[in-house]
Structure 1
Amino acid sequence: MMITGLALLSSPASSKTRLCESENVTVSFQLEEHAEMVCKGVRKAKVLFENCGMPSLSTPLRIDVVEDMIGDCLGQYHCGGNLIEIISPAVMQGRGEPDGVFAHLSSGKYFQSVLIHELAHAATDGMPCPFDFCHVGPEYVAYSMQVMSLSREEQMLFEQSIDMDNLISVEHLHPLVLFMAPDVFTQRVWAHLKQREAPCEFLGQLINGEVIIDFETVEPK
């Protein structure tokens, strides 16, 4: 999830901070194992992004592992604020749907995939948008990276609930699907991406603004 503006939540007094080795990322945490998981996820994202031609995480970034968050969010990237907030693994697993598209993942793998989703938002902050708001493009990239971060075996389990041969068009990626049925949106994104001749090249075109898959929306008066 990506949100605009910056509304920092104060970290608990008992939180500690550390800098991920060789990365420009500071982690705020309560349990040492959470810091290790974050730094491991950042390293994995760095390799994944490089392999797919994604922008690098060049700007200093802070990641806060928290125990609660407004609404049902699992993670949030604060646009322009160089901050990610992410729910701790145990709480995150409890919030996940038992029949959701990522239900087959362990709590650690699920946490890492959500982190990489938010890191993708951080790496692509400021994607070109010809409209007042663009949600589909940034979320397409973030969900693509989230599923791409899984092992091939985990991806195959994810794909069991999708008809990968059913051609997905941009019209199937409407923002209403994103907001009303995010699991369905994620499935359609992955199927659509896998149907591209050059998936990473397509993601690059989205990030550079060469391809726009968002829709212009009109606010009701």
Structure 2
Amino acid sequence: MAIALALIFSGHAANSETQECGNGAFTIETPSQSLGTQLCGDLLDARDLLLSCGLEQTRPISIKVVGEISHPIGKCLSYFECGFDVISITAPEKFGDILSPYDPYALLPPEVLLESLVTHELAHALVTQSADARDIDIVDQEYIAAALELENMEATWREVLIGAAPVSLPPKPDLIDIMIYGLAPRKFATNAWQHFRLTENGCSLIARIVEGRFSFAR
């Protein structure tokens, strides 16, 4: 979720264990080995996609599975702490406790949603690492994370999400706004992915954002 928010983390899983993934690229703190194995596969698959779009991992990243992530405006499912290279993800069995039944995310099986969250937060992490000292505006961060989250999703499930949060074509640059993200994050994601898929945009636009040559910020 949005990396600019100051979060308070609580409810870390008891009896968690630490696993290494990707020859030390990732450290995963999780309550079960099977979940750690799933997360490792999701991380490596997502990293391959992000690398193909020019986003490189330059530092190790820690992933923590927690019972709850909370902040002043409510609970969220996942979060990247940019100052510490740490991604926190809510335990999949808690997804149903947090999601509204009206949230399009609620239509996804837990394993599909977990992979989606991993891709989203890893995109935040690698944008931050690839940009080095450059400050990437939050709306640009969310555009990249949302677009690549949907790009990495199996087409069938992507169609489910877009069908539940439709935005008419052609994609609308004016809707790539942090206020829209706050009010309707799934519609923001639909529009971001549709915009990303335009021939003139794609990975070349992401490169321009990371290099500081373009921003959606107003």
Separation in 1, partners of 2:3, 2:77: 13
Q: Deviations over 1:131-184 (max 9, x none)?
A: xx8211001011111111111222233333524523412x22222111122122
C-alpha distance 196-206 of structure 1, shift in aligned 2 (>3 A) = farther
C-alpha distance 18-160 of structure 1, shift in aligned 2 (>3 A) = same
Separation in 2, partners of 1:95, 1:165: 31
Q: Which has the higher helix share?
A: 2
Separation in 2, partners of 1:93, 1:51: 33
The one-letter code matched in structure 1 to 2:50 is F
Map 1:59-138; keep pairs closer than 5 Å. 59-70=59-70, 71-125=74-128, 127=131, 128-129=134-135, 134-138=137-141
The answer as to whether partners of 2:121 and 2:145 remain within 8 angstroms in 1 is yes
Q: Which has the higher strand share?
A: 2
CA RMSD of aligned residues (A): 2.4
The one-letter code matched in structure 2 to 1:173 is I
Residue 196 of structure 2 aligns to a residue in which SS? helix
Structure 2 match to 1:44: 45
Note if 1:204 corresponds to 2:207.
yes
C-alpha distance 150-22 of structure 1, shift in aligned 2 (>3 A) = same
Q: Under a length normalisation based on structure 2, what TM-score does the superposition of the two structures give? A: 0.85
Count of paired positions: 210
C-alpha distance 7-213 of structure 1, shift in aligned 2 (>3 A) = closer
Deviation at 1:6, TM superposition (A): 7.8
Identity, % of aligned positions: 22
Deviation at 1:23, TM superposition (A): 4.5
Residue 64 of structure 2 aligns to a residue in which SS? strand
Deviation at 1:88, TM superposition (A): 1.0
Separation in 2, partners of 1:7, 1:177: 21
Q: Which runs of 4+ in 1 moved over 6 A?
A: 5-8
Unaligned runs of 5+ in 1: 216-221
Unaligned runs of 5+ in 2: none
